[in-house]
A and B are shown apart, each in its own frame.
Chain A
Amino acid sequence: MIDTTNLTKYFGTLGAVQSVSFSVNRGEVFGLLGPNGAGKTTTIRMLTTLLSPSSGSASVSGYDVAREPLQVKRTIGVIPQMLNLDIDLTCSQNLEYHGRLHRMEGPDRAARTSELLRFVGLWEKRDTAVEHLSGGMRRRLLIARGLMHRPQVVFMDEPTVGLDPQARRLIWGLIESLKRSGITIMLTTHYIEEADALCDRVAIMREGKIIALDGPAALKARVGRYSLECIGRQDIPRKFFPTRDAAYEAGRGETCDVLVREATLEDVFISLTGERIEG
């Protein structure tokens, strides 16, 4: 559903995205994981036709983003990083406006609006102006809006950024039920658990490049499934082992207090770059 070949974007001399290639299959949840400034949003903006690539190519639902932007726009739903709702309009007006932009018929718009407002738990707020909604509610409305015209491919840029854990879980639940409905989803995040919990495959991005791409379990298996670290000693590198027993075994030989736990995608990032993802 999404294909990129050597996709590249330069802002002046800054290579925000450098020769990125990947494909996303139908029905897959594909994640771009990386620290601030890695180039996640820039990649999404090229795929959603808002930025033209400096070089390389990309297609969505079989349409080239540079040559057939209108066809691309018909098939995609975009849920941006920035909450760009019309705050003077009510929840249902925001959805209705979106439906009109996509030429949905009146009765279909109304039915879909009520279906989606229930889906994201905002039915009671349907006639409330967006300016009176909390941050988490706005995020949910933004998701509903992106789904309004029944897109085949949905792009979500940092769908849970700035939310408390409870609001985040709620959105994870929404994404999981979307996934069950067969929609193709590409999301970006700099939250490790999010990529781990939701994605079928994850591309780890850093400084405009993809440095690893695989399923979360396979990525973790690359470094070793279990990690051993000295508590309170950031200076001693973590060690990785294929089994829990092997990790414990090695831990007995250490002179510090040790912690053995399952490896995370953060460990993968650290072992690839020597840096942490989250500040």
Chain B
Amino acid sequence: MNFSPIIWKEMMLIRRKPWRFLASSMVMPVLYLVTFGWGLGRGMNVGGGNYLEFVLPGIIALSAMNNSFGPVSTSMNISKLYTKTLEEVLVSPLTAWDITLGRALTGMVRGLFSAVMLLLVGFAAGVNMHLSLNFFIILTLTAFCFGAAGVGAAMLARTHEDMANFNSFFIVPMSFLAGTFFSPNQLPQPFESLILAYPLTHASLLLRALASGSEPSTGSVLVLAVYTLMFFSLAVRLVKRAGG
């Protein structure tokens, strides 16, 4: 196993432009937080608590997804189609497994970073949350899951447009629907079931449950784990097909 060079390179890139890294991982979550938490949600109550308390775990899950999937898929897509730097890795003795793992881990780190920043913002705003070890385990799994999905998407996309389509047809709908801003059981069937098919829905449900101190559902953990395995093995297969 030798995925560390990929992490090393990512660190060098971040070190070169730390502010860009910070800004790019913070803009979207803070916008969501301001719009839906303070703007829309002030004085609104969901299930007894205030809306900000309800929405923050969802936005944390969303942010873990976006900051993991987005940078991984974009940079890998560019390196495959445009700069061809992916070929440098493909002709090196790294296996497809190493490449996928290394890339997914860089996504995971980015996703976790933005989630932790959001947590800090939330605390500063006085939001009450239970932070357990399990909360961070699920957060990490979520970020890794979408990092692996990012690798898969980048390897699947034959053009930059394909990549944009992935975003418009999967990521954006998921961002709005997958239990971030409202609870899926508020929707009538069959929409509720549809939304329960999204991996992000389960990440939101789990983080929300954990943050409020209640028991998370084993079913959701399982769904998230299965998605992670699926995305990862698909990504490995696609990297292998490309010559890795």
Interface residues of A (CB under 8 A from B): 48-51, 69-70, 73-74, 76, 78, 80, 82, 84-89, 93, 97-98, 100-103, 129, 145
Contacts and interface: CB of A to CB of B under 8 A. Distances in A.
B84 A101 contact: no
Given A88-B17, A101-B5, 12 more contacts: A49-B243, A50-B243, A73-B92, A73-B93, A78-B91, A80-B84, A82-B84, A84-B87, A88-B13, A89-B9, A89-B16, A101-B2
B94 interface: yes
Nearest to A101: B92
Contacts of A74: 93
Contacts of B93: 70, 73-74, 101-103
A87 B12 CA distance: 12
B85 A86 contact: yes
Nearest to A76: B91
B13 A80 contact: no
Most buried by A among B8, B87, B92: B92
Contacts of A102: 92-93
B89 A80 contact: no
B16 A101 contact: no
Contacts of A69: 243
B5 A93 contact: no
B24 interface: no
Nearest to A129: B16
A157 to B, nearest CB: 11
Contacts of A78: 87, 91
A73 B91 contact: yes
B26 interface: no
19 contacts: A49-B91, A50-B91, A50-B243, A69-B243, A73-B93, A80-B84, A82-B84, A87-B83, A88-B16, A88-B17, A89-B13, A97-B5, A97-B8, A97-B9, A97-B12, A98-B92, A101-B94, A103-B93, A129-B16
B95 interface: yes
Contacts of A82: 84, 87
A274 to B, nearest CB: 35
Nearest to A142: B88
A158 B9 CA distance: 27
Interface pairs A-B: 6 shortest CB-CB: A100-B5, A101-B92, A84-B84, A50-B243, A78-B91, A73-B93
Interface string B84-112: 11011111111100000000000000000
A85 B79 CA distance: 10
B4 interface: yes
Contacts of A49: 90-91, 243
A84 B88 contact: yes
A78 B37 CA distance: 53
Interface string B215-244: 000000000000000000000000000110
A103 B8 CA distance: 13
Contacts of A93: 12
A247 to B, nearest CB: 47
Nearest to A82: B84
A84 B12 contact: no
Contacts of A89: 9, 12-13, 16
B88 A98 contact: yes
Contacts of A88: 13, 16-17
A278 B90 CA distance: 32
Contact of A84 (B5, B83, B243): B83
A106 to B, nearest CB: 12
B90 A50 contact: yes
A100 B8 CA distance: 9
Interface string B185-228: 00000000000000000000000000000000000000000000
Contacts of B243: 49-51, 69
Contacts of B92: 73, 98, 101-102
Given A82-B84, A88-B16, A89-B13, A48 B91 contact: yes
Chain B CB within 10 Å — which of A50, A80, A101, A129 has the most?
A101
Contacts of A50: 87, 90-91, 242-243
A84 B94 contact: no
Nearest to A87: B83
B163 to A, nearest CB: 19
Contact of A70 (B9, B85, B95, B242): B95
A149 to B, nearest CB: 9
Nearest to B83: A84
A45 to B, nearest CB: 8
B55 to A, nearest CB: 36
